[in-house]
Structure 1
Amino acid sequence: MSNRSYGILGTGALGGYYGAKLQRAGLDVHFLLHSDYEHVCQHGLVVESPDGDFTLPRVNAYQDAAKMPPCDVVAIALKTTQNHLLPQMLHSVVKDDGVVLVLQNGLGVEAEVAEIVGSQRVIGGLCFLCSNKVGAGHIHHLDYGEIKLGEYTPDYSPGGITGRMRQIANDFENAGIPIQLAEDLLLARWQKLVWNIPYNGLSVVLNATTDELMADSHTCTLVKQLMDEVVAGAKACDRIIPDSFVQKMLDYTLKMKPYRTSMKIDYDEKRQMEVETMFGNPLRIAKAAGGNLSQITMLYQQLKFLDARNRHN
């Protein structure tokens, strides 16, 4: 049994699911909560999953990161729109020799965290998970669940596969969470955007779930065109994504259960959307490298308009 302790910053659809799985496997896990704090203190966490439902009647719950014990691994599962809170959270909750696991969407998110704790203490994590929070302390896992881990380096050069990546991977795998280890975090981030950019963006602009986007020939063509632009953005950054990967993402989504994306949920709940990390940052990075992503630029501008209007109505 591993003696590593885990801190989960953000106990929502993602952090709640992975943290609950880790605790269920016997690991020492500490959860930071906001609105669900009182409920989870009294009732614990409930996870519904096709892999088997379970309840954790008691969890280590905190409303203030300063009251959490220093942990060996701190997983950031907050929305990137909350990253302005990280400077006041991270210094107390991560051990001096601990690592921060950034389980967030988009591009450039590790660099923000590295400015707080140092680049040598940051690992990126890309979550391929269909999960929703359906009530206080209540997570509904629909499909998938794999995490891809990659070491962060200041210039996003390939960091290789390290011993600490393998240790964390072992903990997650023992908890029933599939893990892949990536030698090149930047390539892995661009690969994740192949799915995130078309489905998150179009789900908001067109008010559609993933299955609806895939059922229509016009939107299916648009999804493919946006994926191809992501591939072009990666190529501008000297990262090659093969056509077979694009096809794999399309095939996965066809088989996926009908899904309302995280960005669509944020929009529907009138919360700020992760437009900058998921769209703005990739566009700026690709442009600096000489890329021209015109369709993604149009989608980004539409989302900026919708986000501003949605939150001020």
Structure 2
Amino acid sequence: MPNQLQHIYVIGLGAMGALYASKLYDFDPSRIHIVLDEQRKQRYEHDGFWVNYKKYNFNYITPEQCSDAPKADLIIIGVKATQLHEAIELSRVILQPQTRIISLLNGISSETLIAERLGEHHPFYAYGVAMDATRQGTQVNYSKAGFLVFGEPNNETLSDDVKQVQQLFEQAQIPYQTPVDMRLALWKKFMLNVAANQVTAILKIPYGEVKHNPDVQALLFSAAREVLNLSEAAKIGLTEQDLQGIMTPMLQLNDQAYTSMCQDILAQRKTEVAIFGETVIELGKQYHVATPVNQVLVNMIHAIEAGF
């Protein structure tokens, strides 16, 4: 099957976006385009952009240049949640009817928002897991690439679009998984993120502390259990076994690495608490499920942010 994914756009060159952009560039530099503003474009072209100490001369395209650029076969969105609306509008300019979109954002809402704005046939369900990529300036480093989980809501029979992206990922050596039930898989990652991101951000601790401190683990499971309770009310299908398994991905990561939200807190940036604890609280009201642990975590994160 010849691969028709000739023009791949990455919007958001953060840690995860850069990880996948570098692998796609290593496979075929002509296919990958990075969308960014003029100021960043000039800086990256002047200073260079580095992934695992290798310099990458990506093809940078500004929003103004997108209207004259080739239309996208695949768009990878790797921005923060606060920048998703802008990324969606940028996607609109390079969109064609068959374009598929992979959102690397955490949480369970970005795919819905993309579908509402651009059309429900464009987004895959997707998330990344078990990678420890971090970015400082124009340098991104990682020791574990993890894998990208993606697909249609139901993948019992793989669609041609999924097969095309799987082939591309195999060629670019991007590890991936395509579960049968992507909605359930997304909620598993959501449960992990709600617990790990918020608790580590408040305590300002790396994965090593999560692995070895039982009091930290108790906090994680308390926050995650509220997601399990929501899953039961929403008939998603999470189980007690899924809850007990939230530690597994973190055990594979570098002890000195930090969650994305913890990195934001340490850098005094606004966090993505809206797609974690705040979403849990909103769903709790919708399904009449108590979420006191996440309410406390959200209040603490807002209190920390207020001091920036």
- After TM superposition, is the score higher than 0.5? yes
Per-residue CA distance 1:155-208 (angstroms, 9 max, x = gap): xxx575422112112211221111111333321221002221121101121121
Deviation at 1:87, TM superposition (A): 4.4
Is the 8 Å Cα contact of residues 78 and 104 (structure 1) preserved in structure 2? yes
Kindly report structure 1 stretches of 4+ aligned residues shifted beyond 4 Å: none
- Work out the CA distance in 2 between the residues paired with 1:87 and 1:168: 20
1:12 aligns with 2:11: no
SS of the equivalent of 1:228 reads helix
- Work out the CA distance in 1 between the residues paired with 2:70 and 2:167: 23
- Work out the CA distance in 2 between the residues paired with 1:305 and 1:93: 39
More strand by share: 1
Residue 263 of structure 1, aligned match among 245, 258, 261: 261
Aligned positions of 1:150-229 closer than 5 A: 150-151=151-152, 158=154, 161-229=158-226
Per-residue CA distance 1:272-308 (angstroms, 9 max, x = gap): 211111222233224312322221222122223323x
SS of the equivalent of 2:270 reads coil
Q: 1:159 to 1:115 in 2, by over 3 A?
A: farther
Aligned positions of 1:46-195 closer than 5 A: 46-48=50-52, 54-56=54-56, 58-64=57-63, 66-67=65-66, 68-128=69-129, 129-136=131-138, 138-151=139-152, 158=154, 161-195=158-192
- Judge which range, 107-116 or 82-91, deviates more: 82-91
Deviation at 1:10, TM superposition (A): 0.4
Deviation at 1:118, TM superposition (A): 0.6
Q: 1:65 to 1:114 in 2, by over 3 A?
A: farther
- Work out the CA distance in 1 between the residues paired with 2:167 and 2:235: 31
TM-score by length of 2: 0.88
Q: 1:80 to 1:39 in 2, by over 3 A?
A: same
Is the 8 Å Cα contact of residues 12 and 35 (structure 2) preserved in structure 1? yes
Deviation at 1:233, TM superposition (A): 1.9
- Work out the CA distance in 2 between the residues paired with 1:172 and 1:44: 25
Is the 8 Å Cα contact of residues 155 and 178 (structure 2) preserved in structure 1? no
Provide the residue aligned with 1:155 in structure 2.
Answer: none
- Work out the CA distance in 2 between the residues paired with 1:202 and 1:123: 29
- Work out the CA distance in 2 between the residues paired with 1:19 and 1:125: 16
Is the 8 Å Cα contact of residues 115 and 122 (structure 2) preserved in structure 1? yes
Deviation at 1:44, TM superposition (A): 4.5
Per-residue CA distance 1:100-135 (angstroms, 9 max, x = gap): 211111121112111221111111211112111123
CA RMSD of aligned residues (A): 2.2
Deviation at 1:84, TM superposition (A): 2.7
Provide the residue aligned with 2:32 in structure 1.
Answer: 29
1:284 counterpart letter in structure 2: E
- Judge which range, 92-101 or 10-19, deviates more: 92-101
TM-score by length of 1: 0.87
- Mind listing any 5+ residue stretches in structure 2 that lack a counterpart? none
- State percent identity of aligned pairs: 20
Q: 1:133 to 1:33 in 2, by over 3 A?
A: farther
- Work out the CA distance in 2 between the residues paired with 1:83 and 1:195: 21
- Work out the CA distance in 1 between the residues paired with 2:83 and 2:109: 15
Q: Number of residues paired by the alignment?
A: 299
SS of the equivalent of 1:273 reads coil
- Judge which range, 179-188 or 272-281, deviates more: 179-188
- Judge which range, 7-16 or 231-240, deviates more: 231-240
- Judge which range, 177-186 or 34-43, deviates more: 34-43
SS of the equivalent of 1:173 reads helix
2:32 counterpart letter in structure 1: V
2:148 counterpart letter in structure 1: I
Residue 39 of structure 1, aligned match among 22, 43, 47: 43
